[in-house]
Amino acid sequence: MNDDSNFIMSVESKAIDLGFDDVGFCKAHIPPITRKRLIEFIGRGRHGEMSWMSEKLYTRLNPINMWGEAKTALVVLANYSNDKNPLDFLEKKNNGLISVYAQNKDYHKWIKGRLKNLTSWILSQTRGKAKVFVDTAPLMEKPLAEASGLGWVGKHTNLISRSFGNWTFIGVILFDFELTSKTKPLKGLCGTCSKCIDICPTNAFPQPYKLDARKCISYLTIEHKHHIPRKYRSLMGNRIYGCDDCLAICPWNKFAKLSSNIAFKAKKEFNNPSLQKLSKINEVEFKKMFSGSPIKRIGRNQFIRNVLIAMGNSSSKSMLPCVVKLINDDSSLVRVAAIWALGKLSKQRFNIEKRHNFNKERDKDVKKEWMLTYNEIN
């Protein structure tokens, strides 16, 4: 299909009518520098336990590797910015901090449904085939959004929009026909600013535009399925699902328009929830509380692990009864985190509980945690 400004304008109008906040077009192609960075990321093992990234590396390098007929990418943005700055809640240590994107229902369903509607409408106007993607396939959405003129990838490896700052969800439709847009890619507008790199609690950015996911709190609280490495626990603060520090500190957020989409409004119970209340939920209650939420996929045990790390970082003795109870949880993942948290909160109570529980414990990782924490605080 040749350049058709009227058609592009009608598509953009339809996308906005469906609830998207911005839309752009580009060739279904990933720039060489981005491919090089991805290969280095995988080669250095910086993807951690996200094995699907290495397994699908070739596919991820270019859209055509996933779908040989891909020629054009239509990229949409959905703004989820709200009026609260996550950085303001870091000192509320008795409460947990959940990443802004996860404070309501899972965004995938909302975006995918509307992308399918948009796709159907476009294909009713012209012949062709299409495939829809929302962050679940081996497709690099952020460089496509950059090529579409919707923003640029910042030094923290996330998309920055002039209109919405760092708070956007990305959706992509690939088409088997060419659709040329006159929009040019935005050049990076970060300049000498390095606030996103400097603020990272765990130094997860070895260089600008490069991330070591293994150090990232978002990765550690969501993708890492095992015990949190001890060297990162104190640095996690009260972050119990994800981390928004590098997003929230970006100066471009001052231009961000607040989202009017009710689907992305934070649920009251997910906005800085009580750590003590969260620590008491069982498997059934967890599934009910987080039904339809992205948090549900990490499971109750991993979530309580995160909550216990935050409780240990709270320095609040009021947490002790909840922490002590979880020392005998069925999950070794939870028990390890509870032992560490107890050691952070009370040396005296820790030594009492160790005398009562150490010899009964059969899990080697849990016994090791008892000893490591004992040696650390005594």
pLDDT of residue 134: 94
Tokens at 336, concatenated = 């390890």
Where does the pLDDT of residue 1 fall: very low under 50, low under 70, confident under 90, or very high at 90 and above?
Answer: very low
Active site residues: 135
Q: Are 203 and 215 in contact (CB under 8 A)?
A: yes
The band of 7, judged by pLDDT with boundaries at 50, 70 and 90, is: confident
Residue 136: per-residue pLDDT: 83
Confidence of residue 147 (pLDDT cuts 50, 70, 90): very high
pLDDT at 150 over 70: yes
Cβ(312)–Cβ(345) below 8 Å? yes
Domain ranges of the chain: 5-81+104-175, 195-256+265-377
From CA 304, how far away is CA 326, in angstroms rounded?
Answer: 9
Considering the entire predicted model, what is its pTM?
Answer: 0.95
If 0-12 CB within 10 Å is exposed, 13-18 middle and 19+ buried, where does residue 52 land? Answer: exposed
**pLDDT confidence of residue 133:** 95
Specify the long-range contacts of residues 214-219, CB closer than 8 Å, at least 24 apart: 214/45, 214/46, 214/48, 216/243, 217/242, 217/243, 217/245, 218/99, 218/242, 218/243, 219/48, 219/50
Query: pLDDT exceeding 70 applies to what percent of the chain?
Result: 99
Alpha carbon distance, N-terminus to C-terminus of the chain: 73
157-188 pLDDT, tens digit each: 999 999 999 999 999 999 999 987 777 888 88
Question: Stretch 63-73: mean pLDDT, rounded?
Answer: 96
Residues 237-268 have pLDDT tens digits of 999 999 999 999 999 999 888 998 988 988 88
143-147, 150-154, 264-268, 286-290, range with the lowest pLDDT: 264-268
Question: How many angstroms separate the CA atoms of 250 and 246, rounded?
Answer: 7
Between 75 and 187, the higher pLDDT residue: 75
Cα–Cα distance for residue pair 278/70, rounded to 1 Å = 45
Smallest Cα–Cα separation from 47: which of 175, 244, 210?
210
pLDDT tens per residue, range 24-36: 999 999 999 999 9
Structure confidence by residue, pLDDT tens digits, 280-335: 999 999 999 999 999 999 999 999 999 999 999 999 999 999 999 999 999 999 99
Rounded Cα distance, 117 and 207, in Å: 40
pLDDT score recorded for residue 337: 98
pLDDT at residue 262 in the model: 87
Closest Cα partner for 350 from 338, 358, 342, 360? 342
The answer, yes or no, to whether residue 137 has pLDDT greater than 60, is yes
